[in-house]
């Protein structure tokens, strides 16, 4: 009985659940990208510390990818492409920023949590990549 009820809620509300899922993913990336675009210095400093050439350009690119990719996911425009780009971006970001294996103690644990949080976000983007945006989107699929 409970299983059938939950299945029914999922199926009947699928357009809304897909929209809410997309908005939840976008809620992380849109503000972060906007902050990077308004002040890319912190990100550029982090990249410079890792030896990146032209760190300011990379920081601005990261902000643009986060902001535009997040907006595309939110409104459901070129959703599968946007999800794929966000998967690649998140893999790169988690590999650069959450290197828990190089740390000890509390810092290691904090970065471990962030690393696996990013892995879960990638899982969400994989669902969007496979399923598409749903009918409450610009793509309407």
Taking a C-beta distance cutoff of 8 angstroms, is the pair 73, 26 a contact? Answer: yes
pLDDT digits (tens, 9 = 90+) for 16-43: 999 999 999 999 999 999 999 999 999 9
* Measured distance CA(98)–CA(112) in Å, rounded: 7
38: left (phi over 0), alpha (psi -120 to 50) or beta: alpha
**pLDDT at 119 (0 to 100):** 97
pLDDT digits (tens, 9 = 90+) for 82-133: 999 999 999 999 998 888 999 999 999 999 999 999 999 999 999 999 999 9
């Amino acid at each position: 009985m409970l299983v059938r009820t939950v299945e029914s809620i999922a199926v009947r509300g699928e357009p809304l659940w897909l929209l809410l899922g997309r908005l939840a993913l976008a809620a992380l990336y849109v503000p972060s990208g906007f902050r990077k675009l308004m002040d890319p210095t912190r990100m550029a400093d982090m990249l410079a510390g890792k030896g990146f050439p032209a760190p300011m350009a990379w920081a601005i690119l990261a902000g643009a990818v986060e902001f535009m990719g997040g907006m595309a996911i939110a409104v459901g425009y070129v959703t599968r492409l946007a999800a794929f780009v966000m998967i690649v971006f998140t893999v790169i970001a988690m590999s650069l920023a959450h290197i828990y294996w190089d740390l000890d103690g509390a810092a290691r644990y904090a970065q471990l949590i962030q690393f696996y949080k990013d892995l879960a976000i990638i899982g969400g983007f994989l669902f969007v990549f496979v399923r598409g945006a749903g009918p409450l989107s610009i793509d309407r699929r």
